[in-house]
Amino acid sequence: MKETQDIKFNLPEDLKKCIEFHGHLCPGLVYGYLVAKEAMSLLKLKRSKDEEVVAISENDSCAVDALQILLGASTGKGNLILKDYGKNAYTILNRSDKRAYRFSRKKHYRYKGEAKEEFGRLDTAISSGTASEKEKRRHKMLKSGDLLSKPFAEVFYAEEVRFIMPPYAPLARSEACATCGEMTMSTKMIEKDAGKRVCIPCSA
């Protein structure tokens, strides 16, 4: 169990903040953490008070929580955009100098930590569906620690991409839905028969 303890003791403070928010340490959170840190240094970003930073995540996994904490990106502010593609890829944009980077995970992951045999055994148990909850947690812990110890370039590709100005959080007036009467953003209303404008749940 040495590795788990080492990991917990040596965690950087900013990662601890992510864990506090997310609830646990897991490889997904580490992916987001690594991407946020790399983006901050490449794009010279500080935590976003408003919308100067925009994060586009191509998945809706644990990684997103680290982007929120470190980059100050949030769906509420409109500077966190989730694309449910199930891809471990992220684009981080800096509006102030109009630069952007896209990060995507490299294909092959190989555990390089000290507990190689144990990791291999847990990996097999997980793929065959026989792993216990405890084993799954241990596997996550080992993988998290291993990812944190790797150079960024071993885990992700980073590529500077063309900056495309993402729209600011949309503001629109509200109007009452013709069916339920609840106030709804006008841009989200759907035109139904006889020109009745209704909200999305009522349109189904």
Interface contacts to Zn ion, rule CB under 5 A? 26, 28, 62, 177, 179-180, 199, 202
Q: How far is the CB of 160 from Zn ion (least distance, A)?
A: 29
Helix or strand or coil: residue 90? Answer: strand
Q: Which value, to the nearest 10 degrees, does the dihedral of the CA atoms of residues 79, 84, 89, 90 take?
A: 0
Alpha carbons 101 and 42: distance in angstroms, whole number: 8
20/117 with CB nearer Zn ion: 20
Alpha carbons 183 and 63: distance in angstroms, whole number: 33
Q: How far is the CB of 115 from Zn ion (least distance, A)?
A: 20
Q: How far is the CB of 62 from Zn ion (least distance, A)?
A: 3
Q: Give CA 151 to chain center in angstroms.
A: 19
62/100 with CB nearer Zn ion: 62
Q: How far is the CB of 199 from Zn ion (least distance, A)?
A: 3
161/200 with CB nearer Zn ion: 200
104/179 with CB nearer Zn ion: 179
180-189 burial, b at 16+ Cβ within 10 Å, e below that, comes to: eeeebeeeeb
